[in-house]
Amino acid sequence: MVNGWVVLSVTIFIWQVVGTLRSADRFLKDSGNMLGVFLSYFLLFITLVLTLVQVADALASKHQPEPEQIITLTLPVLTEEGAIQVDGNLDWELFGAFKQTLKDHPEIQNVQLNSTGGFVFVARAMALQIQQRKLNTHIDTHCYSACAVAFLAGESRTMAQNAELGFHQYQMESGDAQGLINVTDELERDRRFFAERGMSEAFLNRVFNAAHTEIWIPTREELIESGVLLP
C-alpha cells in the first residue's frame, strides 16, 4: 500500500513537471514575458518539496510498528509462592523483562533462579533490584557463575534439596574487551559484595580461586556454614 502511494506521488509529480514546462514554453513564445516563466518554476519547486515530504512521510510510516506489534516481555510469576521465575542466560533482554515484571507485580517477594550464568553486569543489575526491593532468592535446580551474584542479593537465600550453586572466576571472551575491562578489578568488586552479604573469608578464597574452566559446586553443608544459605 505504501509503495503504491510513493509510486503514485512520483508519477503525479513527473506529470506536473512535464505539463508545467510545456505550458511555460508556450507562454514564453506567445508573450515573451519571463516573469510568468519564473513563477511557473517557483510553483514547480514548491510542488517538488511537498512531494518529497509526502514520500518521506509514507516511507517513515511503513517502518513504524503497529501498536499490536509492540510486545512487552515479561517473566512467569508463580502466584502461589509470590515468586518471579528467572530461567536461562542472564542477558539484557532478560533483565528488561525481569524489571518490567517486578513493576507489574509489586506483590512479588521471591525470586526463583535457574540459570547457568551470563553477563556479570546483568547479574549485578538484577542484584540491585533484588536488594532495593528486599526480595528473597531461591534456587530450584541450578545457579552457576554470574547467577550467584543475583542469588547472594537475597534477604533470605534458599535452594531445593538437590539444587546446585556453582562458582568460578571470570574470563573475557574478547581480546578487545580485555583492554576496556580489568578482570581483576571486577573479581575484587564481587568479592567485596559477597563479603558484605555474609560470605565467610575462607569460603571467599575458595570461590575466587576456582578456575574459569570449571564450576566449583559446594555442598549444602558448606553453603550453610559459610553464610551463603540463609533461611
What per-residue confidence (pLDDT) applies to 81?
Answer: 76
For residue 165, give the nearest of 215, 109, 201 by alpha carbon.
Answer: 215
For residues 220 and 226, what is the distance between their CA atoms, to the nearest angstrom?
10
What per-residue confidence (pLDDT) applies to 176?
Answer: 42
Average pLDDT over residues 164-187: 71
Q: Strand pairing partners for 112?
A: 85, 138
Cell digits of residue 169: 572466576
Q: Report residue 78's pLDDT band, with 50, 70 and 90 as the boundaries.
A: confident
**What's the pTM?**
0.66
> Rounded to the nearest 5°, which phi and psi values hold at 162?
-105, 15
Cell digits of residue 92: 539484557
Average pLDDT over residues 99-109: 94
pLDDT > 50? residue 72? yes
For residue 147, give the nearest of 69, 65, 211, 217 by alpha carbon.
Answer: 217
Cell digits of residue 190: 564481587
Do the Cβ atoms of 71 and 96 come closer than 8 Å? no
What per-residue confidence (pLDDT) applies to 73?
Answer: 72
Average pLDDT over residues 210-223: 90
For residues 76 and 94, what is the distance between their CA atoms, to the nearest angstrom?
12
Using DSSP bridges, classify how beta strands 77-78 and 136-144 pair: parallel, antiparallel or unpaired.
Answer: unpaired
Q: Report residue 79's pLDDT band, with 50, 70 and 90 as the boundaries.
A: confident
What per-residue confidence (pLDDT) applies to 33?
Answer: 59
22 vs 227, which has greater pLDDT?
227
Each residue of 17-44: pLDDT tens digit?
A: 556 656 655 655 556 556 555 666 666 6
Write the DSSP string, the chain: -HHHHHHHHHHHHHHHHHHHHHHHHHHHHHH--HHHHHHHHHHHHHHHHHHHHHHHHHHHHHTSPPGGG-------EETTTTEEEEES-B-HHHHHHHHHHHHH-TT--EEEEEE--B-HHHHHHHHHHHHHHT-EEEEEEEEETTHHHHHHT-SSEEE-TT-EEEB-----S-HHHHHH--HHHHHHHHHHHHHHTT--HHHHHHHTTS-TTS-B---HHHHHHTT--B-
For residues 148 and 187, what is the distance between their CA atoms, to the nearest angstrom?
13
Domains of the chain by residue range: 2-68, 77-225
Do the Cβ atoms of 115 and 151 come closer than 8 Å? no
For residue 126, give the nearest of 103, 110, 149, 105 by alpha carbon.
Answer: 149
Architecture of domain 77-225: Alpha-Beta Complex (3.90)
175 vs 167, which has greater pLDDT?
167
Cell digits of residue 194: 559477597
What per-residue confidence (pLDDT) applies to 213?
Answer: 81
Which range, of 76-90, 121-135, 147-161, averages the lowest pLDDT?
76-90
